[in-house]
Amino acid sequence: MKTDSSPLRYLREDRLPTIWCTGCGNGAVMSAFLGAVEDAKLDMRKIAVVSGIGCSGRIGGYLKADSIHVTHGRALPVALGTKLVRPDLTVVAFMGDGDAYSIGGNHLLHAARRGDDVKAFVINNMVFGMTGGQQSPTTPTSLIEGSPLARHARPLDGPMLCATVGASYAARWPAAHFAELRESMKTALTTPGFCLVEALSQCPVQFGRRVTRNLPELMKWIESMTIRVDEALSRRSTGGKLLMGEFTKEEGGLRPGLGELIGG
């Protein structure tokens, strides 16, 4: 049953259920976004959603908002064009890690550097999920020995990159950290300038099966590979783990001490 408080009022019910695989984190991220819209008291009629190619690109089609589905890696320039034409709108770009950090990486860097008033929500499942499970820019360096994903190139850290070049707000949370993710999305939606929130999302089909982990194991593994920013700062080391939390100060820019943690 749909009520005035039900998130279904924000969704195109004729397109449900979603196409996402069982256990995928995309649904949790979409739900966190809807909660953030509710918390920020925004009108969905004043939100424009741009999405690129990939599993996360389907989000725009499920929302009762004006949306544009664009080619791979081009969500941010289209979002910026939308904002320039309609500065009254809150413009949101949903992207995957391959979409945002691979072919779209240069757009991301300069959007953050310029301070474009666009909100980027990146769903990072550490793999090109829709095209068969190839390595993405965020595939971890160390995986189970013999995995076809194993590699030696250092993964790209999107939130750190954006915070370093001057983003107004940058954060990362596992999709399972729903409350923190929702709050960060709210902050991004209500903070002027370029904002990025990355959600570490479990992909049990294209990622989990390649590192021989089922869904519960995969979610525990994502948790185990992360450390909170505040804890890392107090220890002055990441311990080789991926940072989660807020990367920026209230006035924007990288939090003091974070730069020294890179590679720590």
| pLDDT in single tens digits along all 264 residues of the chain | 455 666 788 888 888 888 888 888 889 999 999 999 999 999 999 999 999 888 888 888 889 999 998 888 799 999 999 999 999 999 999 998 888 888 888 899 999 999 999 999 999 987 765 665 567 777 776 554 444 555 566 788 899 999 999 999 999 999 999 999 999 999 999 999 999 999 998 887 777 777 767 888 888 888 988 999 999 999 999 988 889 999 999 888 899 998 888 754
| Residue 244 near residue 200 (C-beta atoms within 8 A) | yes
pLDDT in tens, 122-140: 999 877 656 655 677 777 7
Identify which of 204, 263, 206 has the alpha carbon closest to the alpha carbon of residue 232: 263
C-alpha–C-alpha distance, residues 189 and 11, integer Å:
19
Token pair for 226: 């992360």
List, in sequence order, every residue forming a beta bridge with 227; answer none if it has no partner. Answer: 243
Of the candidates 188, 185, 193, 134, the residue with the CA atom closest to the CA atom of residue 167: 193
Token pair listed for 63:
């929302």
Return the closest-CA partner of residue 125 out of 34, 29, 49: 29
The pLDDT, as a whole number, for residue 264 is 47
Backbone angles phi, psi at 173, to 5 degrees: -145, 145
Contact 91, 117 (CB under 8 A): yes
pLDDT of 202 reads 86
pTM of structure: 0.90
CATH class of 7-261: alpha beta
Among residues 176, 185, 230, 184, which one has the least CA distance to residue 204? 176
Which of 200-219 are b and which e, b meaning 16 or more Cβ less than 10 Å from the residue's Cβ?
Answer: bbbbbbbbbebbebebeebb
At which residue do the structure tokens 């890392």 appear?
A: 232
